[in-house]
Amino acid sequence: CRATIGQVGNSEHNLINIGKAGRKRHMGIRPTVRGSVMNPNDHPHGGGEGKSPVGMPSPVTPWGKPALGYKTRKKKNKSNKFIIKRVN
């Protein structure tokens, strides 16, 4: 068991307001674009007239895999024996 003694050095770090998109770009972070506003050739949620629904049973990633609650770990992974909690 380990413990850290003392307090965090920069406790107000999460309160910093970036201010504008350009400052975020200088930090190397690209814009976040929703799949629903893309074209159908860019994302499975894209296309349609106006604010269209997803159009499939559940939301998917840009590569077509289910986005919510889908287990992506391989069942035959050799390191499974080191994990105590149930995976799939």
14's tokens = 């999460």
In a domain, 9, yes or no: no
pLDDT tens, residue by residue, 25-60: 999 999 999 999 999 999 999 999 999 999 999 999
| pLDDT given for residue 87 in this prediction | 57
How many CA atoms does the CB half-sphere of 81 hold within 13 Å? 1
What is the rounded average pLDDT of the residues 6-35?
95
| pLDDT given for residue 65 in this prediction | 92
In a domain, 8, yes or no: no
Instruction: Note the pTM of the prediction, 2 decimals.
Output: 0.67
In a domain, 11, yes or no: no
Residues 53 and 67 sit within 8 Å (Cβ to Cβ):
no
**Could you give the number of structural domains in the chain?**
1
Residues 45 and 37 sit within 8 Å (Cβ to Cβ):
no
Supply the CATH number for residue 87's domain.
4.10.950.10
Give the residue, 84 or 70, on which the prediction is more confident: 70
